């Protein structure tokens, strides 16, 4: 579950061309279970309509002190007390200047001044305005007030002011808020966990290989979850192009290409690890010989003779000691459960995570997965979830066995 679940967020929107991106911010916050109250400046309304925003948040948008002509008024003090966080995105140079200097001439600034919760500011302006000493001074002032400045690609800004003025992407803004509220349990502190991830490439010649569709997403999500819970992660990674969600000092990545290289890395690491989670899609076969030069087209047919690769899982299963855990994956296309049961026993896993290519949204490359955790004594089926949530389910299970 996201750390934003149940959180009350005041979203301040100001007059920038990036205002349309606030719709994406709202959608993501709501998807993660947050409640959103929009407060918009008069200039903000020139860029995006309150109707769109209230349809997304299911709440009236606040922009004026007086909501109607009947004397009822919007209390910025109440909003300040209601919120768990205030996010101003996009924040123009003008709003940043007013915030820094307490110029309370609109509802957004009065709300800011009354805010009891942490404030996040995502600046949006052109580079010259952003680089102007006045803007820089105002941003420094906001930092000195304890506000969090969200810069494009640079995360929270402490003392260094670098960035380009363009507003950070909505998903990164939301993920920084999520990180802020995240109170990870540290139940895996002191444990070392080996994780394999991604595909392997088996060389045919200098330009060709046999590979598979694994993106590394599932393995990275597992590494991220273990690291979040305090474990030291040894991530043995086949060739992938994705980037980790977050650089973490307790994830040590070892890049390999072939199954043989993955095998050697795992054999070295597993004896001193507390658990191994083997999520990589390892090629079972590799070309018998690798051509030194690029193979040229000759006749019609081309035969590549393959020899078996080491079975990493089975060999770790053999050297597994008491107290050590080993978790496998099974990617199946048919007879799913009986195939997974067979691998569970043959490879001496403590449990196996079954995913089937017959399930939509499961398996290779997707951001979601649908799994069944199978142990010798039973099975637990889970619905389709994000790979991050699936990883949390798998690590909950692993933790219960330590
Ligand atoms: O990377 P993504 O795009 O996010 O996709 C995730 C995934 C689909 C790759 C992942 O969820 C998954 O199912 N990984 C295992 C894929 C697989 O190759 O399964 P398998 O049934 O062939 O192998 C069974 C187990 O033995 C696996 O734990 C595998 O890592 C391991 N194995 C297999 C062969 C081999 N030579 N050595 C091994 O260690």
**Cα-Cα-Cα-Cα dihedral of 130, 110, 24, 152, to 10°?**
20
How buried is residue 127: exposed, middle or buried, by Cβ count under 10 Å (0-12/13-18/19+)? exposed
Q: For the whole prediction, is pTM greater than 0.75?
A: no
- Tell me how long the chain is: 402
How far is the C-alpha of 124 from the C-alpha of 293, rounded, in Å?
53
In this structure, what token pair is assigned to residue 67?
Answer: 């909501």
In this structure, what token pair is assigned to residue 4?
Answer: 């934003």
365 Cβ inside 6 Å of ligand 1: yes
Cβ 27 vs Cβ 100: under 8 Å: no
pLDDT digits (tens), the chain, 402 positions:
789 999 999 999 999 999 999 999 999 999 999 999 999 999 999 999 999 999 999 999 998 876 655 555 667 788 888 999 999 999 999 999 999 999 999 999 999 999 999 999 999 998 899 999 999 999 999 999 999 999 865 434 443 444 567 899 999 899 899 989 987 778 899 999 999 999 999 999 999 999 999 999 999 999 999 999 999 999 999 999 998 877 788 999 999 999 999 999 999 999 999 999 999 999 999 999 999 999 998 878 889 999 999 999 999 999 999 999 999 999 999 999 999 999 999 999 999 999 999 999 999 999 999 999 999 999 999 999 999 999 999 999 999 999
Distance 280 CA to ligand 1 centre (A): 5
- Helix (H) / strand (E) element for 336: namely helix 336-346
| Start-to-end C-alpha separation, the chain | 23
200 Cβ inside 6 Å of ligand 1: no
Beta bridge partners of 210: 202
Calculate ∠ Cα 196-200-202, nearest 5°: 150
Best residue for ligand 1 mutational test, from 329, 344, 348 (most atoms within 8 Å of Cβ): 329
Q: Whose CA is nearest to atom 23 of ligand 1?
A: 330
How far is the C-alpha of 237 from the C-alpha of 229, rounded, in Å?
20
How far is the C-alpha of 277 from the C-alpha of 328, rounded, in Å?
6
Cβ partners under 8 Å of residue 236, min gap 6: 194, 195, 196, 197, 254, 256, 262, 265, 266, 269, 280
Cβ partners under 8 Å of residue 300, min gap 6: none
Distance 278 CA to ligand 1 centre (A): 7
Does the domain at residues 192-291+301-400 carry the CATH identifier 1.10.540.10?
Answer: no
How far is the C-alpha of 353 from the C-alpha of 370, rounded, in Å?
10
Residue 316 CA: nearest ligand 1 atom is 39
Decide: helix, strand or coil at residue 39.
strand
Q: How far is CA 219 from CA 192, 226, 233, 402, in A?
A: 15, 11, 11, 20
How far is the C-alpha of 321 from the C-alpha of 365, rounded, in Å?
33
Decide: helix, strand or coil at residue 128.
helix
Distance 343 CA to ligand 1 centre (A): 11
Best residue for ligand 1 mutational test, from 330, 340, 353, 355 (most atoms within 8 Å of Cβ): 330
Q: Whose CA is nearest to atom 33 of ligand 1?
A: 282
Residue 283 CA: nearest ligand 1 atom is 36
Best residue for ligand 1 mutational test, from 197, 202, 214 (most atoms within 8 Å of Cβ): 214
Residue 369 CA: nearest ligand 1 atom is 11
Distance 329 CA to ligand 1 centre (A): 5
pLDDT digits (tens, 9 = 90+) for 162-194: 456 789 999 989 989 998 998 777 889 999 999
Of residues 147, 172, 185, 212, which has the active-site annotation?
212
311 Cβ inside 6 Å of ligand 1: yes
218 Cβ inside 6 Å of ligand 1: yes
In sequence order, what DSSP letters do the residues of 153-171 get, joined into one string? Answer: TTEE-SS-----SSPPPHH
Best residue for ligand 1 mutational test, from 202, 221, 276, 282 (most atoms within 8 Å of Cβ): 282
212 catalytic, yes or no?
yes
pLDDT digits (tens, 9 = 90+) for 290-314: 999 999 988 788 899 999 999 999 9
363 Cβ inside 6 Å of ligand 1: yes
216 Cβ inside 6 Å of ligand 1: yes
Q: What is the DSSP letter of 291?
A: -
- Helix (H) / strand (E) element for 233: namely strand 232-237
259 Cβ inside 6 Å of ligand 1: yes
* CATH number of 8-181, picked from 3.30.700.30, 3.40.50.12780, 3.40.50.720, 3.40.50.1950: 3.40.50.1950
How buried is residue 133: exposed, middle or buried, by Cβ count under 10 Å (0-12/13-18/19+)? exposed
How far is the C-alpha of 102 from the C-alpha of 178, rounded, in Å?
28
Residue 329 CA: nearest ligand 1 atom is 28
Distance 118 CA to ligand 1 centre (A): 43
Beta bridge partners of 297: none
pLDDT given at position 161:
47
User: Cβ atoms within 10 A of the Cβ of 391, count?
Assistant: 26
282 Cβ inside 6 Å of ligand 1: yes
Q: Which one, of 277, 278, 214, 271, lies nearest residue 242 by Cα?
A: 214
User: What are the boundaries of each domain within the chain?
Assistant: 8-181, 192-291+301-400
Cβ 325 vs Cβ 295: under 8 Å: no
Q: Whose CA is nearest to atom 11 of ligand 1?
A: 363
Q: Do domains 8-181 and 192-291+301-400 have the same CATH topology?
A: yes
Q: Which one, of 107, 108, 117, 127, lies nearest residue 167 by Cα?
A: 127
Beta bridge partners of 278: 196, 328
313 Cβ inside 6 Å of ligand 1: yes
Cβ partners under 8 Å of residue 301, min gap 6: none
């Amino acid at each position: 579950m996201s750390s934003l679940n149940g959180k009350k967020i005041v979203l301040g929107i100001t007059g920038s061309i990036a205002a349309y991106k606030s719709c994406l911010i709202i959608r993501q916050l709501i998807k993660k279970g947050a409640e959103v109250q929009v407060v918009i400046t008069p200039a903000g309304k020139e860029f995006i309509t309150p109707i769109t925003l209230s349809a997304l948040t299911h709440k009236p948008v606040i922009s004026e002190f007086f909501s109607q002509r009947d004397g009822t008024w919007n209390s910025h003090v109440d909003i300040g007390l209601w919120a768990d966080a205030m996010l101003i995105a996009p924040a123009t140079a003008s709003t940043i200047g007013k915030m820094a200097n307490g110029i309370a001439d609109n509802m957004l600034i009065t709300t800011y001044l009354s805010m009891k919760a942490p404030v996040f500011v995502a600046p949006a302006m052109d580079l010259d305005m952003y680089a102007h000493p006045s803007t820089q001074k105002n941003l420094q002032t906001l930092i000195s007030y304890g506000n969090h400045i969200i810069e494009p690609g640079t995360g929270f800004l402490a003392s260094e002011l670098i960035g380009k003025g363009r507003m950070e992407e909505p998903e990164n803004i939301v993920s920084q808020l999520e990180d802020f509220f995240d109170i990870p349990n540290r139940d895996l502190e002191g444990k070392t966990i080996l994780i394999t991830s991604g595909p392997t490439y088996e060389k045919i010649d200098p330009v060709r290989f046999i590979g598979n569709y694994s993106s590394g997403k599932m393995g990275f999500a597992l590494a991220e979850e273990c690291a979040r819970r305090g474990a030291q992660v040894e991530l043995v990674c086949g060739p992938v192009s994705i980037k980790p969600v977050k650089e973490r000092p307790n994830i040590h990545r070892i890049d390999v290409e072939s199954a043989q290289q993955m095998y050697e890395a795992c054999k070295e690491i597993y004896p001193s690890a507390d658990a191994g989670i083997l999520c990589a899609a390892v090629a079972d076969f590799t070309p018998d010989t690798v051509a030194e030069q690029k193979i040229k087209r000759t006749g019609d047919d081309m035969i590549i003779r393959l020899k078996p690769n080491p079975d990493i899982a089975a060999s770790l299963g053999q050297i597994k000691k008491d107290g050590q855990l080993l978790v496998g994956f099974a990617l199946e296309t048919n007879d799913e459960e009986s195939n997974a049961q067979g691998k569970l026993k043959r490879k001496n896993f403590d449990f196996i995570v079954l995913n089937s290519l017959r399930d939509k949204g499961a398996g290779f490359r997707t951001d979601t997965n649908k799994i069944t955790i199978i142990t010798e004594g039973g099975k637990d089926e889970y619905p389709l979830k994000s790979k991050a949530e699936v990883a949390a389910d798998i690590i909950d299970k692993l933790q219960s066995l330590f």
